[in-house]
Structure 1
Amino acid sequence: MTILIIEDEEPTARKLQRLLADVVAEGRVVGITGSVDESVEWLRANPKPDLIFMDIELADGQSFDIFNRISVASPVIFTTAYDEYAIKAFKVNSIDYLLKPVKEADLRQAINKLQALRDVLVDQKSKSGMNSLEASMANLLQHLQHIAPSATPHAVTTDRPRPMPFAFRDRFMIKQGQRLFSVSIDEVAFFFSRNKLSFLKTRDEHEWLVDYTMDELVQMLDPRRFFRLNRQVIAELRAVDKVHLYFNGKLKINLRPAFEEEVVVSREKAGELKLWLGE
């Protein structure tokens, strides 16, 4: 089984590749891409993989844009830190939808689901000269593309519930030279990424490196207090100073303390943010 990983965070891609090596003995990762443009170019230039693992939020847009630019002739397992895209995912070639950080048990279940679907859908095409894997993949893709897009959220069986409140992180260990100390979550204004590293910024404007990806952080934080504004920023409620209407239904956010770059919330997440803020 050949596998393409579409993921813009290198540590997450490497971790998924390691998990796949344990879970899919016959699997072979043939490519790793990190953006919509790079993925489209790869798919045009290479034989179609048997399976694609696809993050949804990429550096240059959502991976759904890939389907608008090229015919994707492979089944897809989506991996994402967000759970609001489940319905949209099942309108394309999706066989499963895994929340980050991906766990081995969930990955194994998704692969088993692919195998089961593939076996069930082997039909006369397997007798036409194609090998059984090629035939079953072709039938699986045809089946996925004709599933009615009225799937409900209840069809998403592999999403894990968010941890109970007591499981959320209440402090983070910081390393400064040879010194270790902890920062209470109450001191954190927001988390942000820079050059593929993650940092927290405190209310008194100190910045500290944290040893987690943004996708991992969003799973550790209480969603009543923290909201992922975009790929780069996860803000605490009190750090959202002002919200401005932006073009195309987007929102522009002023943080307190200030963030060095413009913070824009996508149109897709704008409604969710308004609800979180108490609209």
Structure 2
Amino acid sequence: MNAIIIEDEYLAAAELERLLGEVAPSMTILTKLDSVSESVKWLRKNKADVIFMDIHLGDGQSFDIFEQVEIMVPVIFITAYDEYALKAFKYQGIDYILKPFDKEELQQALNKLESLSPVNVPFPVASLAVYQERFLVTVGTKMKSVTVGDVAYFMADGKYLVLFTRDGQNYILDQTISGIEMKLNPAQFFKINRKFIISYNSIKEMVKYSNSRIKIVLTPAPPAGIEAIVSAERIQEFKQWLNQ
């Protein structure tokens, strides 16, 4: 499988290439590109099977690349910013890895890549829309499966991720909020800030808040003292999500 790396930090690109050499020795890194303009120039004349892409580049965001050249291969985003995960999914993203990352996280992304397509066969975006339907949770010594339709929202609580159901139950998941976002249908779920991913059906009321933000009244209500506020940088996308 042939890959390219789009990353404007030399050391970060070199470290990613080194780790890929360890976890995917059969993968060939065709080139490393450090800007939107260089990436567009290369992609207009060349092809790869997968792209590893940072979001913030020296001359813009990597999303600008998609506006100038058609990309029909899977993209694994690797970035220090967690607020672009939903947008990344719209641009061929199959995984979203936050820096700093380790070999295990990279291996998980490659496992997802392998499960989506045969080796060396690029695939269109339509084949990427595979969303998680059930979540296995533990209740004491027992286990149960929660369907996605029963999920009201997910809330990050320190090092834990908590799933809240529409009937008021909550369960701890062994996942991260950024990781779970990529597995959810973006038509139904939206990440309003670093703490919450909410289901459309969990919205009881929306109230104007300070600094042009929006407060979401959720049902069931979050734990006492915790408010669900749409962050300022997510307001525009949130409004578009509500209006689709």
| Distance in 1 between residues matched to 2:139 and 2:203, nearest whole Å | 28
What is the CA-CA distance between 1:178 and the residue it aligns to?
2.7
* Structure 2 counterparts to residues 174-213 of structure 1, below 5 A: 174-213=137-176
Q: TM-score scaled by structure 2?
A: 0.53
1:103 is displaced (CA, Å) by: 4.5
| Larger helix percent | 1
Question: What amino acid is aligned across from residue 231 of structure 1 in structure 2?
Answer: R
Offset from partner CA, 1:218-276 (integer Å, 9 cap, x none): 00000000000111110000101111112222111111111120111122211111121
In the aligned structure 1, how far is the partner of 2:233 from the partner of 2:190?
A: 14
Q: Deviations over 1:10-55 (max 9, x none)?
A: xxxxxxx9x7763367xxxxxxxxxxxxxxxxxxxxxxxxxxx989
For the pair 1:22 / 2:54, whether they are aligned, the reply is no
Give the residue type in structure 1 aligned to 2:20.
V
Q: Is the 8 A contact 1:188 1:236 kept in 2?
A: yes
Distance (whole Å) between structure 1 residues aligned to residue 165 and residue 108 of structure 2: 36
Summarize the Cα distance change of 1:270–1:106 in structure 2 as closer, same or farther, 3 Å threshold.
same
Contact 1:170 1:184 in 2 (8 A): yes
- Residue 96 (structure 2) aligns with: 100
Q: Which one of the candidate residues 178, 181, 184 is aligned to 1:221?
A: 184
Asked if residue 275 in structure 1 is aligned to residue 240 in structure 2, the reply is yes
The answer (yes or no) to whether the contact 1:250–1:266 under 8 Å persists in 2 is yes
5+ residue gaps, structure 1, are: 5-16, 26-52, 57-76, 87-96, 108-159
Could you state the TM-score of these two structures normalised by the residue count of structure 1? 0.47
Give me the whole-angstrom Cα distance separating, in 1, the residues matched to 2:197 and 2:11: 31
**Residue 208 to residue 163, structure 1, CA distance change in 2 (3 Å):** farther
Number of aligned residue pairs: 157
Distance apart, 1:177 and its partner CA: 3.0
Question: Structure 1 CA distance, aligned partners of 2:139 and 2:198?
Answer: 23
1:100 alignment partner AA: Y
Is the 2:86–2:181 contact (alpha carbons within 8 Å) kept by the matching residues of 1?
no
Residue 187 of structure 1: how far off its partner (Å): 0.7
- Asked if structure 2 preserves the Cα contact closer than 8 Å seen for 1:162 and 1:219, the reply is no
CA distance 1:164–1:2, change in 2 (3 Å) = closer
Percent identity among equivalent residues?
Answer: 27
Q: Quick check: which has more Rg, 1 or 2?
A: 1
| Partner Cα separation in structure 1 for residue 241 and residue 188 of structure 2 | 9
* Aligned pairs (5 A) from 1:131-210: 164-165=128-129, 167-210=130-173
Q: CA deviation at 1:99?
A: 5.2
Structure 2: stretches of 5+ with no match in the other structure:
1-8, 23-52, 57-77, 98-104, 111-123
Question: Quick one: distance in 2 between partners of 1:229 and 1:105?
Answer: 25
Residue 96 of structure 2 aligns with an amino acid whose one-letter code is K
Counterpart in the other structure of 1:33:
none
